[in-house]
Amino acid sequence: MIPAVLVLQPLSPARQSELEAACEVHRLDLSDEPDLLLDRFGPRIEAVVTDGHKGLTAAQIGRLPNLRLVASGSAGLEGIDRAALKARDIPLTNPAVALAEEVADVALMLLLAGWKALPALDAHVRTGAWANGEFPLGRALQGRTLGILGLGTIGSAVAKRAESFGLRIAYTTRTPREVPYEHEPSLFRLAERSDILVVIVPGGPETAKMVNAEVLDALGPEGLLVNVARGSIVDEPALIEALATGRLGGAALDVMWNEPRPDPRLTGLPNVVLTPHVGSATRETRDAMSANVLANLRAHFAGEPLVSEV
């Protein structure tokens, strides 16, 4: 029997075509009557394709009695009710392995741009200010301490790149990893000892506002915050205040609250570098992420180990 798959967030066009050629696909994302679709086809569904934004609620899971797998097309899982999946022992996969290198590249780009004040350097040339005097001396990067909040697949890729810049690395996770970096159990202490703090933990209720005013104050007036995870992890009003008052030196952010319309108080600050959530935004990476979803589906339906179970 051809397996039935419910799609809340489609894959890249080529991979979506592959999915539809191999499976009985029901597009909840395109349905004008999603409740009727679930009433009619819910009992047939064996797998769901979604992502952290479209998510999958406990109510939806409850209407899929034969659900056996949820495959997320994004590393973020905040919209997926993991407790409801765990209660029924339904595995969840995500493509972190497929996007880790690209997100790590963006993290290092933001780190360098923030630490070296790239927007201000660019403006110094473009505005003609260079003709009136040299730009103020900057700060060396080598020998500084990089704190990493979260040392999973992506965090490890960030650390590997940071080593080549001569940065000392420390990290915070729930449990220590077998890595050559120092584990710091306290996020506050990690921020206190770091020159730069990179945020790369999943979004969701457990991590909401984890980087709060106290953590930002610990990072300090010379410190730089880099966030390539989710905007919800940082208390944004506290961040804006810390940046505006000089209690935090700078921020380099790929993610924010209220995307794609970030707070004008944030975008108006001179000590912030901003990019529009482009951590995985390359053709190659997005295709690899979709290919990862397909690989997990194929493994599941073949009775083989999943490629990237969370």
* Contact status, residue 159 vs residue 179, Cβ threshold 8 Å: yes
Alpha-carbon gap, residue 150 to 274, rounded angstroms:
21
94: left (phi over 0), alpha (psi -120 to 50) or beta: beta
Burial of residue 193, with CB atoms counted within 10 A of its CB: 0-12 exposed, 13-18 middle, 19 or more buried = middle
Annotated active-site residue 230? The verdict is yes
Active-site annotation holder among 26, 82, 230, 286: 230
Annotated active-site residue 304? The verdict is no
- Cβ neighbours for 176, distance < 8 A, ≥ 6 positions apart: 183
Alpha-carbon gap, residue 34 to 244, rounded angstroms:
45
Annotated active-site residue 259? The verdict is yes
End-to-end CA distance of the chain: 27
Nearest one of 230, 275, 278 to 257, comparing CA atoms = 230
Collapsing DSSP to helix, strand or coil, 281 comes out as coil
**Torsion angles phi and psi, residue 17, rounded to 5:** -65, -40
Burial of residue 233, with CB atoms counted within 10 A of its CB: 0-12 exposed, 13-18 middle, 19 or more buried = buried
Nearest one of 8, 7, 15, 6 to 283, comparing CA atoms = 15
Active-site annotation holder among 214, 222, 259, 284: 259
Q: Using the structure block, give the residue that is written with the tokens 């191999």.
A: 22
Q: What's at 44, amino acid-wise?
A: R
Active-site annotation holder among 27, 247, 277, 298: 277
Query: Which sequence positions are flagged as catalytic?
Result: 230, 259, 277
